[in-house]
Amino acid sequence: MPSVLPRRIAMISVHTSPLAQPGTGDAGGMNVYVWQTALRLARRGVEVEIFTRATSSGDAPEVHAAPGVLVRQVPAGPFEGLDKADLPAQLCGFSAGVLGAEAAHASGYYDLIHSHYWLSGQVGWLAANRWGVPLVHTAHTLAAVKNAFLAQGDTEEPRLRIIGEQQVVDVADRLIANTATESDELVSMYRADPDKIDIVAPGADLDCFTVGDAAAARAELGLDADEVIVAFVGRIQPLKAPDVLVRAVAPLIAAARAGTRAPLRLLIVGGPSGTGREHPSALADLAAELGVADRVTFLPPQPALRLAQVYRAADVVAVPSYSESFGLVAIEAQACGTPVIAAEVGGLGVAVADGLTGTLVAGHRVADWSNAVEKILADPQRLAAMAAAARGHAEQFSWDRTADGLLASYARAIESRRAGRTGGTARPRWRRSRRQGVAL
């Protein structure tokens, strides 16, 4: 346990609530991260108050979500109908709500702020200056990285976001990176000071995601026991590349139909998100166009216990994303004893032990993905060996271990403040970045 332990921290998660169901809208891995780390920190005796934007007039201003975890749902702009891109205009109202909550208490009520995503970092920057406390920031995704690995036809992240991210990188006391790759990206693309970056890997709920009975899982989900199942879990949007997987699996489904192999089914679990909401039926339409609609099953986002059954039911889980700062789905699947085929991008090279618990695929050529899926399914012994090794690999990534890393980072931030070395009140650096093509 670090020598300096905060009594109470303010977590800021503007655009997505830890109470929301992951896989729908903008709710995803960040929701899981905020919720699970808050629970673990609270169990260590740190009170956590999470500030998020209210999205319904029926949202209670305060929700005591767990012992030591309070969720504050702050009104800021219209409750419904706002896209994430609309939220920068609501940061003033949201910040007022955050500052107002602190003003109702004696000075020094919060010891530290941990902001998640750049929108929250902007609010955290203001609050940290007002309260005189350290700001620790986790980006979760970076605009410059997403734009560098953009899916074909997808929309670039706006200049506003890149500038906003740069400001937060410049002023934060500590930056949390999921992997060494993300740390390098912060340094190379945002000129972050490497001395204030802490690498803390996310985890999985190892009590929920466990090895179980595949046949029972299939029965619960209404899936046939004799099928070979490839599963995709995540938000349905170009960034996550589910269309690549549909195209890659289609010829394998056709080959199984024509030969003596077991029938192949693609199971897609998630809801439209981001630019995917512009064409919510796009994946179903693609499956119909390719003649495999009867072999593709769509399920809505699932709560954690039922999601574990999805992982157990699958022979392999595919994560074909164009970019991932880490890839929680990959760890959760492996925790359930299911091998993973993943794109060789971002943190997925850490989340998946290539050749041991799954396979990494370079690039997004459909033929390469089709070959990778066919190869892993064609060797039952190798697939079984990967399944046997998967749980052990996943156990290296627990939320308790994540909490340990966060507490160590918090201690560094607090000690630095006490020593008079502060990042939270620094002025952001402005310069011309040739790589990003914007004034920073």
DSSP state of 262: P
> Residue 314, annotated ligand binder?
yes
> Residue 44, annotated ligand binder?
no
Measured between alpha carbons, how far is 357 from 394 in angstroms, rounded to an integer? Answer: 9
Tokens of 401: 């271990």
> Residue 324, annotated ligand binder?
yes
Is the separation of the CB atoms in 139 and 186 below 8 Å?
A: yes
Rounded alpha-carbon distances, angstroms, from residue 298 to 209, 233, 285, 295: 21, 10, 12, 10
> Residue 333, annotated ligand binder?
no
Is the separation of the CB atoms in 172 and 412 below 8 Å?
A: no
> Residue 240, annotated ligand binder?
yes
> Residue 263, annotated ligand binder?
no
> Residue 29, annotated ligand binder?
yes
Burial of 24 per CB tally in 10 Å (0-12, 13-18, 19+): middle
- Spacing of C-alpha 13 from chain mean position: 13
**Full DSSP string of 308-356:** HHHHHH-SEEEE--S--SS-HHHHHHHHTT--EEEESSTTHHHHS-BTT
Measured between alpha carbons, how far is 391 from 413 in angstroms, rounded to an integer? Answer: 34
Q: Convert 331-355 to b/e letters by CB count within 10 Å (16 or more is b).
A: bbbbbbbbbbbbbebbbbbbbbbee
> Residue 322, annotated ligand binder?
no
> Residue 174, annotated ligand binder?
no
Whose structure tokens read 């830890």?
18
> Residue 53, annotated ligand binder?
no
DSSP state of 398: B
> Residue 297, annotated ligand binder?
no
Helix 399-418 / helix 29-43 crossing angle, nearest 10 deg: 70
> Residue 401, annotated ligand binder?
no
> Residue 129, annotated ligand binder?
no
> Residue 30, annotated ligand binder?
yes
> Residue 410, annotated ligand binder?
no
**Full DSSP string of 191-253:** ---GGGEEE----B-TTTS----HHHHHHHHT--TTSEEEEEES-BSGGG-HHHHHHHHHHHH
> Residue 22, annotated ligand binder?
yes
> Residue 161, annotated ligand binder?
yes
Using the Cα atoms of residue 407, residue 412, residue 417 and residue 423 in order, give the sign of their dihedral: negative
Is the separation of the CB atoms in 234 and 242 below 8 Å?
A: yes
> Residue 20, annotated ligand binder?
no
Return all residues near 98 (Cβ < 8 A) that are at least 6 apart.
10, 12, 51, 74, 123, 127
User: Where are the alpha helices (H) located in 366-398, listed in sequence order?
Assistant: 366-377, 380-394
Instruction: Give the residue numbers of the binding site for UDP-N-acetyl-alpha-D-glucosamine.
Output: 21-22, 29, 235, 240, 302, 324, 332
Instruction: Give the residue numbers of the binding site for Mg(2+).
Output: 311-312, 314, 338
Instruction: Give the residue numbers of the binding site.
Output: 15, 21-22, 26-31, 84, 117, 141, 161, 235, 240, 302, 311-312, 314, 324, 332, 338
Instruction: Give the residue numbers of the binding site for 1D-myo-inositol 3-phosphate.
Output: 15, 26-31, 84, 117, 141, 161
